Structure 1
Amino acid sequence: MSDDASRDTSTTLAAPLAVRNGVPLVAQPRLLGDLLARSATRFPDRPAVDFMGRITTWGALAADVDRAAAALQALGVVKGTRVALCLPNTPYYPVLFYATLKAGGIVVNVNPLYVERELTHLIEDSGAEIIATCDIADIQARVLKVAGETGIRHVISCPIADVLPGLKKFGYKLVKRKEIGRAPASARHLYYAAFMAKGGTPRPVAVDPHEVAVLQYTGGTTGVPKAAMLSHANIVANTDAMLVHCGGEVPDQDRVLGVLPLFHVFALTNVLTFSTLVAAGMILLPRFELKQLLATLKRTRPTYFPAVPTIYNALANLPAGQRPDLSAIKVCISGGAPLPVEVRHAFEANTGAKLVEGYGLSEASPIITCNPFEGVNKEGSAGLPFPGTTIEIRDREDPTRIVPAGEKGEICARGPQIMAGYWHKPAETAAAFADGALRTGDVGYLDADGYLFIVDRIKDMILCGGYNVYPRVIEEALYEHPAVVEAVVIGVADAHRGQAPKAFVVLNPPGAATPTELRDFLRDKISKIELPREVEIRDTLPKTLIGKLSKKELVEEELAKAAR
């Protein structure tokens, strides 16, 4: 059956484009730099970045971008040159992001916590010639070492102290002096001030909105990371859709809390480019640290707060006297990992703020569905298709077939935010699409109202004696226990069934339940085949830099145990 012939009776749902005066508000291809130019022209004196209390206006940000773009061109950046940004959240990131694009380059997003092996792969795979990093000694040393072994021509070090307000700058230099790198200037390495001294007025570069703007490496737990080629048009389309989804611009300036790292695709769109589109103030934090987050929430009173479930979970579990005032927040947007229903309920009940779940992936810039800010927010759902996006549920064995409504299958997506493919990987690109729709690798279904429900990742599926077991089902059941604050389920080797589920949990208060009691708690909530063979209680669970629970380390631990 052809794709077109199957659409009338199968699971396909498209969100209509919002239209104003006959003009679609989504998917108008344009350059990311156009968003910055518009906000800097309209609101030059509005705060653009608040970093630990130091304010940069939109006009000042645009001026810094011009100087940095000219400086990059002085270092040899031409159209198509890849510039890696290995930076925590600081004012340096938006400057160098937009400057790279204005100079005609392509941004390569790099996690500053990557080890040398991972850094080497990203630099060699992308062909990056310039890399910007911070002067935190450990990070700077790793970047300089890898730069000397790869094709990097220039390393730009960005001093953290120089972007802090006065007293904090002095305190940072005093308290953190042993952690501040002191790399000597050389032909390869220069500090940010010396780099900016090369700047002036950038040469215009002709760039088409459909050309690549960002190489966004996938963050999967298995295999070698691949770079999703995201064009200017892809990211702008997702940013436009975000504006439509939240109801349009407001007369007062919004404030977006950026505790998620900007090198991550979720924050790239929900913090950086969305803030640029509407001239919102970006409140940047270099990392998630609960005490600092609470102080920032009190000081800045943001209106949007995108984060991952573990951050909302941490806030929900605070004692009543420590909970932040979130009354200024219009909505909190959860992404990056599944949001347990119990976490959402606890967060909303304990803070009074509204929390909605969205869903996406690097290859989609990233959002493809989100629960509405106003209206029905369905329990356990990842929401409705994002404006301009079509969601299809396809047969897992035969991805050319779209399955009937309500049936589980692989979630696939179409829309203007979908990548062109993977950088220099034609075979992987071909495998990522089915009849032109992006294959997410996730299992789910659409209900009668068009809401998406995600069952689990296909790659995370545990095969137990011929049965498909999805870790998310077990994790959701564990979260129903009042003492479980974090839960992760992985597949481990089993002599009889091939694989069996194993659960790892964190309890509050500690010692509130035993492994046996937790298994007994699950017996009437999941099937016998889904019951974990073992429950291990831990004080903490591994997390990624954005605070997402990570299974990779647990899988590696279990494989090491099995090899003994």
Structure 2
Amino acid sequence: MKPEVSQTAKSSPLWVDHYPKGIDWHMPIPTRPVPELLERAVKRFPGNPAISFLGRTTTYAMLGAEVDRVAAGLQSIGVKRGTKVGLLLPNTPTFIVYYFAILKAGGTVVNFNPLYTLEELSFQVKDSETEIMVTHDLTMLFSKTEALLESGAIARAIVVPFANVLPPLKSVLFRLFKRKDVADVGSSRAAAQIVNGNTLAATSSPMSRVDIDPDEDIAVLQYTGGTTGTPKGAMLTHANLTANTAQIAAWGVDLEPGKESILGALPLFHVFAMTVVMNMGIELAAKIILIPRFQLLEALKLLDKERPTVLPAVPTIFTAMLNYPDFKAYDVSSLRFCLSGGAPLPLEVKLKFEAVSGAKVVEGYGLSETSPVLTCNPVQGEPVAGSIGPPLPGTTISLRDIDDPTKEVAQGERGELCAKGPQVMKGYWKKPAETEKQFVGDFLRTGDVAIMDEKGYFSIVDRIKDLIICSGYNVYPRRIEEAIYTHPAVEEVTVIGIPDAYRGEAPKAFIKLKSGMSATEADILKHLQPKISRIEMPAAIEFRDSLPKTMIGKLSKKELAAEEAKRGRPA
């Protein structure tokens, strides 16, 4: 049995003595209503650009005024403290306007993935008790919203004409040539339940100031991906979100308010982009350069033209850029701070991107339940291979015995990563039993297995559920993936467990090769021989043209596991 370590017996966490220069782990972390982030930016930098979208620029003064008008409009149709308002939107200025307006009116934002099926949307609407959905009149979005209205899942919808968010010339061209992409909202069978966004924003009613309790009031219901079961709504308070925003802003020691610009290539409905692109962008009074959805060439053109200083991304975006044949034709030297999240960042990818851009690329770690960032590698100093860094200011990480999470493991041993801090959620919406299971004392259980080195830096070994048991031995897919990534021909890899007649389970690797390069199964196995043990060797390797990914570009295992399960026969 592993020794029990008392949390209170420690005088100071191990990482404090090795903390990055210029950052104080004990720093006071302000918690305030989320709308105050925007109010402060408007007051300090009213003339600065807040949003750049397809050639249209919105200043902070303009954004603040529009948010106030929309908040007043929302209140005029009944939005009050606690009203759940859904956002079914791509990355457009409308997302940012309504996000802050809903919160300013006292409501709670519910983020929806625009690519969800109607069944998935219906479940989340019902579970969250969403009353109103905000969307654009784009056919692919409106058709789903209309179906939700007709089924009675939602009472009303606010539809903002997409042409409104475009620059004048593009707006005219869009109306002329993209008519098939625009729904005829006026003739909808649910027209009586639809509020025109233009009308709502033109309300003459004054906005009533809402007294928000940052520690108690839920700002956002952020639904988990559902990879471990039924999706659950993480209740993120105003304090959770503003605390994490302050923590991340402090981590970027060289970032200057009013002088930064952020490329918004990740979807804002995802918790990573919501906090690191939008909320942190507003906190820094930065220019947020929005891309409706990530397209490699469009992103490279904007990097070259708009010259952003900050790029939050997932590893697959960095990899895609590095492997693009004409990547060097685009100037990315304006970048200074790149934050990678959502999936493990291979050290090779980090170092290569830093070499070509001159920026620092740091890997962070978090989850929906933590607003989302818990740890991050420092901007300065030598990288630690495979590390997710130390905890953010005010955040405590405790590694717990996997069989008995009430006990901590000794330094250097594997344990479940458990966390507490001001960014940790209030709980799961309407799921007290699930909430109780997710916590051990006041520490949130992440389900990830990690180790801590002698400086208090953490490394994720794997998710507990991803554990492969081969002949009674524990095999961690992350370790195999890291070894395969060192092969020069490999671009992406995912390892899962498959049935094995002799060992019970065995690892199988799915590999996408770099364009123009080749490798065989024998080549990969030979490459792995000096790097991993025989028990860790993949029993099978399958090469594919592409690997399944989640909406934010994170490699996804569940589709591959489902395919293998359908085959049904042990290997």
Q: Name the TM-score class by shorter chain.
A: over 0.9
Residue identity matched to 1:204: R
Inter-CA distance 222–510: structure 2 relative to 1 (3 Å threshold): farther
Aligned to 1:375: 381
Q: CA RMSD in A?
A: 2.5
TM-score by length of 1: 0.94
Letter aligned with residue 445 of structure 1: I
Q: Which amino acid aligns with 2:196?
A: Y
Mapped partners of 1:17, 1:448: distance in 2: 12
Q: Does the Cα contact within 8 Å between 2:347 and 2:386 map onto a contact in 1?
A: yes
Distance 2:380 2:15 in 1: 20
1:58 is aligned to: 60
**Aligned pairs (5 A) from 1:249-264:** 250=256, 252-264=258-270
Deviation at 1:519, TM superposition (A): 2.5
2:252 to 228, 246, 250: 246
- Residue 320 of structure 1 deviates from its aligned partner by 5.7
How far apart, in 2, do the equivalents of 1:146 and 1:459 lie?
Answer: 34
Distance 1:252 1:230, change over 3 A: closer
Alpha-carbon separation, structure 2, partners of 1:305 and 1:5:
36
Deviation at 1:318? 2.5
Match of 1:136 in 2: 138
**Partners of 1:41 and 1:453 in 2: how far apart?**
41
User: Is the 1:390–1:413 contact (alpha carbons within 8 Å) kept by the matching residues of 2?
Assistant: yes
**Contact 1:3 / 1:435 at 8 angstroms: preserved in 2?**
no
Task: Specify the alignment match of 1:148 in structure 2.
Answer: 150
- Asked if residue 521 in structure 1 is aligned to residue 521 in structure 2, the reply is no
In structure 2, the partner of 1:39 is 41
- SS class of match (1:114): coil
Q: What's the counterpart of residue 95 of structure 1? A: 97
Deviations, residues 352-398 of structure 1 (Å, cap 9, x unaligned): 33211011111111111111112233221101111111111111111
User: Aligned in 2, Cα 1:524/1:420: closer, same or farther, shift over 3 Å?
Assistant: same
Which residue identity lines up with residue 139 of structure 1 in the other structure? L
Q: Which amino acid aligns with 2:108?
A: I
* Range with bigger deviation, 58-67 or 133-142: 133-142
Which AA in structure 2 matches 1:138? M
Partner of 1:553: 559
C-alpha distance in 1 between matches for 2:523 and 2:12: 43
Cα distance in 1 for residues equivalent to 2:20 and 2:494:
39
1:536 matched residue in structure 2:
542
CA offsets 1:64-104 (integer angstroms, 9 cap, x no match): 11111111112211110100111111000111001111111
- Looking at structure 1, the residues matched to 18 and 161 of structure 2 have their Cα atoms a distance apart, in angstroms, of 46
Q: What is the distance in 2 between the residues matched to 1:511 and 1:316? A: 15
Please give the alpha-carbon distance, in whole angstroms, between the structure 2 residues aligned to 1:543 and 1:242.
Answer: 26
Deviations 1:434-463 (A, max 9, x none): 121111110111101111111111122222
Report whether the alignment pairs 1:236 with 2:242.
yes
Aligned to 1:474: 480
Matched residue SS, 1:311:
helix
The one-character-per-residue Cα deviations of 1:400-439 (angstroms, maximum 9, x if unpaired) are 1111111111111111111111111111111111121111
1:83 touches 1:105 (CA, 8 Å); kept in 2?
yes
Alpha-carbon distance, 1:195 to partner: 2.8
Q: Does the 8 Å CA contact 2:45/2:258 hold for their aligned counterparts?
A: no
State how 1:217-296 maps to structure 2 within 5 Å.
Answer: 217-247=223-253, 250=256, 252-296=258-302
Which AA in structure 1 matches 2:461? V
**Percent of residue pairs identical:** 49
Match of 1:333 in 2: 339
Q: How much has 1:343 moved relative to structure 2?
A: 1.6
**Equivalent residue letter for 1:64:** E
State the shift of 1:3 in Å: 6.3
Which residue number in structure 1 is paired with residue 507 of structure 2?
A: 501
CA distance in 2, matches of 1:375, 1:142: 49
Shift of 1:14: 6.0
Distance in 2 separating the partners of 1:147 and 1:472: 44
Which residue of structure 2 lines up, in the alignment, with residue 80 of structure 1?
Answer: 82
135-144 vs 87-96, greater mean Cα deviation? 135-144
Deviation at 1:162, TM superposition (A): 1.9
Deviations, residues 119-144 of structure 1 (Å, cap 9, x unaligned): 01110110000011222212221222
Q: Give the equivalent residue in structure 1 for 2:207.
A: 202
What amino acid is the match of 1:496? Answer: Y
1:463 aligns with 2:469: yes
SS of 2:428's equivalent in the other structure is coil
Q: Which residue of 2 aligns with 1:391?
A: 397
Equivalent-residue separation in structure 2 for 1:83 and 1:119 (angstroms): 13
Q: Tell me what 1:437 maps to.
A: 443
Q: Tell me by how many angstroms 1:160 deviates.
A: 2.5
| 1:192 counterpart = 2:194 | no
Maintained 8 Å contact 1:68/1:96: yes
User: Which residue type is aligned with residue 352 of structure 1?
Assistant: G
Give a deviation string over 1:522-553, Cα, whole Å, max 9, x none: 22211222211111111111122211112222
Gap change, CA 1:57 and 1:392, over 3 Å in 2: same
| Contact kept in structure 1, 2:252 and 2:337, CA below 8 Å | no
In the aligned structure 1, how far is the partner of 2:63 from the partner of 2:26? Answer: 29
The aligned length equals: 563
User: Contact conserved, 1:18 with 1:244, CA < 8 A, in 2?
Assistant: no
Corresponding letter in the other structure for 1:314: A
Q: Which amino acid aligns with 2:41?
A: S
Residue 160 of structure 1: aligned partner = 162
Deviates more, 1:6-15 or 1:269-278: 6-15
List runs of 5+ in structure 2 lacking aligned partners: none
Give the letter aligned to residue 527 of structure 1: S
TM-score (norm 2): 0.93
Return the letter of the residue paired with 2:310. Answer: Y
Please state how far the C-alpha of 1:492 moved relative to its aligned partner. 1.9
Distance 1:156 1:563 in 2: 50
Select between 171-180 and 376-385 the one with higher mean Cα deviation. Answer: 171-180
Q: Deviations over 1:284-305 (max 9, x none)?
A: 1111101100111111100110
Q: 1:3 to 1:81 in 2, by over 3 A?
A: farther
Give the deviation of 1:169 after TM superposition.
2.6
Unmatched segments (≥5 aa) in structure 1 = none
**Aligned partners of 1:17, 1:477: CA distance in 2, in Å?**
29
Counterpart code for 2:214? P
Give the drift of 1:279: 0.7
> Structure 1's 215 and 252: CA in aligned 2 closer, same or farther, altered over 3 A?
closer
- What's the CA shift for 1:496? 2.6
Q: 1:418 to 1:500 in 2, by over 3 A?
A: same
Q: Supply the distance in 2 between the matched residues of 1:545 and 1:275 (Cα, whole angstroms).
A: 21
Bigger Cα displacement from structure 2, 333-342 vs 2-11: 2-11
- 1:423 is matched with 429
Check the 8 A contact 2:396/2:419 in 1, yes or no.
yes
Q: What CA distance in whole angstroms lies between the structure 1 residues aligned with 2:379 and 2:103?
A: 32
**Partner in structure 2 of residue 177 of structure 1:** 179
Between 514-523 and 284-293, the greater mean CA deviation after superposition: 514-523
Between the aligned partners of 1:311 and 1:13, the Cα distance in structure 2 is: 30
Q: Is the 8 Å Cα contact of residues 11 and 406 (structure 1) preserved in structure 2?
A: no
- Matched-pair contact (CA < 8 Å) for 2:26–2:394: no
* Cα shift at 1:175: 4.7
Aligned counterparts of 2:28 and 2:425: Cα–Cα separation in 1: 16
Identify the residue that residue 349 of structure 2 maps to in structure 1.
Answer: 343
Checking the alignment, whether the CA contact within 8 Å between 2:335 and 2:357 is kept in structure 1 is: no
Contact 2:87 2:133 in 1 (8 A): yes
Tell me which moved more, 168-177 or 276-285.
Answer: 168-177
